[in-house]
């Protein structure tokens, strides 16, 4: 078998502030035929995620293929567990084709009625992050009240629906537009939501949850964290997933002015790294698949079409142009069903 033509996205410059399209370059190349234990995968769906912004500052090498979650179909294989035709999850995104080494791809299970791209959303790292944040980090208990920032994003929209399934009494979210607020309460089961542009977060949260909240899932940091500390009840818990408000800042953000309330209220703040909880994946699937198939939960995604639009999909996600998880489809839809 000869080498396969492929296209790649490379990072070519470190961003100064917000990244731009000029920080990336499209590269033409080839992928060699698979060697022993390897499989050649034609990518179908690519994931772009907020954590990638931090990698741009030094975690990714310049002028080299980038890391990213992807789903693709095996087109040639010398790996016993990766048969030709199988749909697999792997982490060699930002490219049309990948040569996957042994042990670095997972054949996706078949769940009738559940499309493959859900394994980049609710059944992937996005949903797993939300599930771990609620069940492990925050230890959400039935009857408790939850506040979620960036609630119309991938992790946020997943967390709101999961909190409801896990027995939360009241779920409150913040978002960046009136339309996103409408969808949070009208489509995804949030009890209340607000546009954080409408005033101080602490004040808006107090109006949405006058009696306070028990759990805060933080995707933003900054003023949102300060407002949540203000609104948390005694013994409340903060699961800190991300800080998208400060990713493009040249200066470290000022700490929340009310940090001592963590002591005064006996609050607990803990960071969430999904890579520390890979063993929970099967539990997540067992829990969510029946809800997905019954329509009790929806995988909220913004699907961008075409490999040429990968960079714009990433930049748009950072600007908040997406609703839910951003996924880029680079192959025919029919090839994407499990």
Confidence at 146, pLDDT banded by 50, 70, 90: very high
What pLDDT does residue 79 have?
94
What pLDDT does residue 209 have?
98
Which residue blocks in the chain are alpha helix, DSSP H? 51-54, 125-132, 154-165, 178-186, 201-208, 222-231, 261-264, 281-294, 310-319
Q: For the segment 151-167, what is each residue's pLDDT rounded down to a tens digit?
A: 999 999 999 999 999 99
What pLDDT does residue 57 have?
95
Confidence at 175, pLDDT banded by 50, 70, 90: very high
| Global confidence as pTM | 0.91
Distance CA 150, CA 201 (A): 12
Q: For the segment 191-214, what is each residue's pLDDT rounded down to a tens digit?
A: 999 999 999 999 999 999 999 999
Task: For residue 106, report the phi and psi dihedrals to the nearest 5 degrees.
Answer: -125, 125
What pLDDT does residue 329 have?
97
Confidence at 243, pLDDT banded by 50, 70, 90: confident
What pLDDT does residue 332 have?
75
Distance CA 105, CA 82 (A): 8
What pLDDT does residue 158 have?
97
Domain ranges in the chain? 4-121+299-336, 125-275
Q: Are 173 and 145 in contact (CB under 8 A)?
A: no
The proportion of the chain whose per-residue pLDDT surpasses 70, expressed as a percent, equals 95
Confidence at 335, pLDDT banded by 50, 70, 90: very low
Tokens, residue 280: 């929970």
Confidence at 245, pLDDT banded by 50, 70, 90: low
Distance CA 72, CA 329 (A): 10
Q: What is the 3-state secondary structure (H, E, C) of 57-70?
A: HHHCCCCCECCECE
Distance CA 243, CA 59 (A): 17
Q: Tell me: pLDDT of 261 over 80.
A: yes
Tokens, residue 305: 């079409």
Confidence at 244, pLDDT banded by 50, 70, 90: confident
Q: 329 versus 112: which is more confidently predicted?
A: 329
Question: Which DSSP state fits 58?
Answer: I
Strand partners of residue 95: 8
Q: What is the mean pLDDT of the chain?
A: 94
Confidence at 337, pLDDT banded by 50, 70, 90: very low
What pLDDT does residue 338 have?
40
Topology given in CATH for the domain delimited by 4-121+299-336: Quinone Oxidoreductase; Chain A, domain 1 (3.90.180)
Q: Tell me: pLDDT of 280 over 80.
A: yes
Q: For the segment 5-19, what is each residue's pLDDT rounded down to a tens digit?
A: 999 999 999 999 999
The class (CATH top level) of 125-275 is alpha beta
Closest alpha carbon to 216 in 140, 328, 107: 140
């Amino acid at each position: 078998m000869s080498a396969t033509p492929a296209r790649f996205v490379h990072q070519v410059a470190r961003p100064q502030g917000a990244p731009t399209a000029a920080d990336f370059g499209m590269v033409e190349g080839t992928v060699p035929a698979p060697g022993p234990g390897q499989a050649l995968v034609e990518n179908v769906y690519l994931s772009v995620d907020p954590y990638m912004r931090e990698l741009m500052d030094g975690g990714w090498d310049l002028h080299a293929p980038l890391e990213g979650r992807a789903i693709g179909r095996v087109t040639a294989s010398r790996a016993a567990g990766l048969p030709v035709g199988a749909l697999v999850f792997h982490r060699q995104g930002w490219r049309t084709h990948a040569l996957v080494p042994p042990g670095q791809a997972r054949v996706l299970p078949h769940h009738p009625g559940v499309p493959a791209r859900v394994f980049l959303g609710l059944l992937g790292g996005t949903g797993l992050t939300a599930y771990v944040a609620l069940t492990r980090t925050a230890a959400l208990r039935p009857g408790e009240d939850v506040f979620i920032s960036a609630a119309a994003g991938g992790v946020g929209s997943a967390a709101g629906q999961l909190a409801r399934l896990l027995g939360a009494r009241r779920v409150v979210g913040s978002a960046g537009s009136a339309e996103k607020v409408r969808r949070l309460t009208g489509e995804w089961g949030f009890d209340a939501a607000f546009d954080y542009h409408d005033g101080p977060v602490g004040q808006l949260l107090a109006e949405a949850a006058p009696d306070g909240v028990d759990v805060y899932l933080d995707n933003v940091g900054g003023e949102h964290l300060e407002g949540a500390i203000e609104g948390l009840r005694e013994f409340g818990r903060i699961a800190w997933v991300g800080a998208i408000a400060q990713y493009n800042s040249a200066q470290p953000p000022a700490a929340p002015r009310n940090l001592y309330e963590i002591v005064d209220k006996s609050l607990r703040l803990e960071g969430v790294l999904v890579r520390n909880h890979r063993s929970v994946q099967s539990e997540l699937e067992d829990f969510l698949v029946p809800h997905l198939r019954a329509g009790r939960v929806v995988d909220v995604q913004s699907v961008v079409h075409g490999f040429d639009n990968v960079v714009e999909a990433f930049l748009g996600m950072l600007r908040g142009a997406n609703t839910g998880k951003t996924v880029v489809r680079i192959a025919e839809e029919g090839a994407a069903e499990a």
